[in-house]
Amino acid sequence: MENEATNFFKNFFQEEPPIHAHLATEGIHALESHEADSISREVSKEEVWINVLKSNAICSPKVSKSIKDSIANISDFMSCSAKPSDSYIWKGLIKAKSRLLDGFGSRIGDGSSTRLWLDAWAGDKPLIEIIEDNVDQVQDINALVSSIIVDSRCHLEGINDICPPEVVNDIMCIPLPCHAQMKDVRIWRAAVNGKYSAKSGYNFLHNSHFTSQPTFPWKDVWKLKCAESVKFFIWLLGNDSLPTNSLRARRGMSASNVCKRCNLSEETALHCLRDCYAARHIWLYFGFGSEPDFFNLDPLTWILTWSGMKESVPGHRNISFLCILYDIWKCRCVWVIEGKPPNLPKFLREVEFNCEYAKNVFMSEDQAKSKDSFLVSWVKPSNGMIKLNTDGSSLGNPGPAGFGGIFRNEDGRWMGGFSGYIGTQTNMFAELTAIKQGLSLAVNKGFLRLLVETDCLEALNLISKGDISTHHLGVIINDIRVLSSRCESISFKHIFREANQCADGLAKIGSKGRHELCVWENPPTEISLALLADLAAICFRRE
């Protein structure tokens, strides 16, 4: 197998760095411990070999058929074990598999291949581990989930007496296929699409081993309101890769870890940029000393708070912070490397200029963007069509969730509405449930020429072209596709939320109520004004 791996890399990666080099270095700064290196190696091996052995296009014919078949069938692969005589690559693969097992679960279809008590299908653990004190009350330990599914609903007689209430609620909220048969599917719970990847596996192992360590929002670094050089500087700072004397001494590049500006303390990144007297004087000059806890926060919180990464709209103060931080570092480098202490008055003037310049550049960008506004209104459907507007609401995402929708004819007149409560769910679950319930009611009412509008573009993308083979919401999406096929004419359209206020009002009614489904023959008073606004084609400004 190791020879096969070597030949594979030689043949397919002659002009690019080998794939194992990319995998070995992926996320290298995310963890610093020996455990992190072990995780990276295990996940990398698993991803490489699953790709090598499953792909007909690149798999060598010399690889045994039994190995390829065991990888292709995830159930067989999960039951594989390593023998002492096996290669190190295969042992690494099996080791990673055993640690990743907790990340796999089942998406319920008809329940015919998932064990009710022994498989993880209603949470992170099998039910048998949740009811440890009531195991003796289980009548059939090998029962299947299909034994409790009747008419596309879970009937929990005998289960709700021995399971905690929150688990019972979770089971009742699991979507089951209503309009087409689907088989149970084994999915990777750590990814929304249910598919395992090296990245999601790495993150899963990282989170399970280092849950106490806060994570740095790497993606937000590149959205900061500052120059690209400053963004890269913040990235180095977040990775603890700033070449201070402390870091250089740890790597054997310096004989001393002491700060050469004050000669009093170890030159960590925080000391260099904030706590050293040379840096502190600059922060005080620009008024940051009066800010609460400015000199007391831990490094991560300090950066996140003052860089603007926690703010939806960073302000002048955040831009000044980033400029001052970067200028302090540049000044320190000139002082330490070239031995030239700064001319303080001149340096402060340069920092002031850089701050004002950055504010003019980056704040003016926001002002220019804010001027790009336009008017939005609800539009009546064309002749012979009925418009269905839907929306989902989750107060917390996940949180108490509801859905709602409204039918209107070509004159913009009310033809019916609905709302409902679906427990603690995500926004996407609520959005898709709203569309599914709306289509189900439309088919029952004979509304077969439909224009469906929603303000959730991602939901429409999943419905139209999403791969639902392992998606955790694939059951709902499949029902939507089946219901759509029963309509004479149907089209889906994305709209802005300003044109979807009636459906939004019904969804909020659903999330605040406790009715599974409420069909409204007459419009509720909560959406009366929104209905009148839509009927009058009143426009709303969208920024």
Identify which of 238, 203, 233 has the alpha carbon closest to the alpha carbon of residue 218.
238
Q: What is the largest CA-CA distance in the chain?
A: 83
Q: Are 498 and 458 in contact (CB under 8 A)?
A: no
CA distance linking residue 362 with residue 79, whole number of Å: 56
In DSSP terms, 408 is beta-bridged to 387, 414
**C-alpha 180: how far from chain center:** 29
Determine the pLDDT at residue 312: 66
CA distance linking residue 433 with residue 422, whole number of Å: 9
Q: Are 176 and 108 in contact (CB under 8 A)?
A: yes
CA distance linking residue 392 with residue 510, whole number of Å: 9
CA distance linking residue 427 with residue 421, whole number of Å: 13
Tens-digit pLDDT string for the chain (543 aa):
555 555 544 444 444 444 443 433 334 333 334 444 554 454 444 444 444 334 333 233 333 444 444 444 455 556 677 788 887 767 776 777 777 888 888 999 999 999 999 999 988 889 999 988 888 889 899 999 999 999 999 999 888 889 999 899 889 989 999 998 999 999 988 888 998 887 888 888 877 665 445 577 888 899 898 999 999 999 999 888 999 999 999 999 988 999 999 999 999 999 999 999 999 999 999 999 888 889 999 888 899 889 988 776 678 899 999 999 999 999 999 999 999 999 999 999 999 999 999 999 888 665 555 556 889 999 999 999 999 999 999 988 888 999 999 999 999 999 999 999 999 999 999 999 999 999 999 999 999 999 999 999 999 999 999 999 999 999 999 999 999 999 999 999 999 999 999 999 999 999 998 899 999 999 999 999 999 999 999 999 987
CATH number of 386-542: 3.30.420.10
CA-based R_g, the chain, Å: 29
**C-alpha 253: how far from chain center:** 39
Distances (CA, A) of 85 to 18, 48, 88, 527: 27, 21, 9, 70
- Residues of each domain in the chain carrying CATH 3.30.420.10: 386-542
Within 13 Å of residue 15, how many CA atoms lie on the same side as its CB?
Answer: 0
Within 13 Å of residue 80, how many CA atoms lie on the same side as its CB?
Answer: 23
Tokens representing 396?
């917390």
DSSP letters of 216-262?
P-HHHHTTSSS-HHHHHHHHHHHTT----HHHHHHTTS-S--B-TTT
Tokens representing 526?
């909560």
Determine the pLDDT at residue 75: 53
CA distance linking residue 216 with residue 235, whole number of Å: 9
Q: What does DSSP assign to residue 309?
A: T
Q: How many residues does the chain have?
A: 543
* Strand 489-494 with 399-408, pairing: unpaired
Angle between helices 316-338 and 228-238 (to 10 degrees): 80
Determine the pLDDT at residue 216: 79
CA distance linking residue 522 with residue 504, whole number of Å: 17
Determine the pLDDT at residue 68: 40
CA distance linking residue 328 with residue 345, whole number of Å: 14
pTM of the model: 0.68
Which residue do the tokens 């939507």 mark? 480
Identify which of 332, 147, 92, 122 has the alpha carbon closest to the alpha carbon of residue 233.
332
- Specify the 3-state DSSP secondary structure of 207: helix
- Specify the 3-state DSSP secondary structure of 318: helix
**What are the backbone angles phi and psi of residue 481, rounded to the nearest 5°?**
-65, -40
Neighbours of 125 (CB within 10 A): 12
* Strand 414-425 with 518-520, pairing: antiparallel
Q: Are 267 and 245 in contact (CB under 8 A)?
A: yes
Q: Are 331 and 349 in contact (CB under 8 A)?
A: no
Determine the pLDDT at residue 100: 80
- Specify the 3-state DSSP secondary structure of 304: helix
Distances (CA, A) of 74 to 48, 50, 453: 15, 10, 39
Q: Are 530 and 502 in contact (CB under 8 A)?
A: yes
Determine the pLDDT at residue 59: 34
Determine the pLDDT at residue 149: 95
Identify which of 19, 1, 64 has the alpha carbon closest to the alpha carbon of residue 10.
19
Neighbours of 217 (CB within 10 A): 15
Tokens representing 429?
């679950």
Determine the pLDDT at residue 89: 64
Tokens representing 126?
């099998």
> Residues 171-209, buried b or exposed e (16+ Cβ, 10 A)?
beeebbbbbeebebbbbbbbbebbebebebbbbbbbeeb
**What are the backbone angles phi and psi of residue 415, rounded to the nearest 5°?**
-125, 0
CA distance linking residue 61 with residue 329, whole number of Å: 56
Q: Which amino acid is at 319?
A: I
Distances (CA, A) of 222 to 214, 230, 299, 312, 313: 19, 10, 19, 14, 14
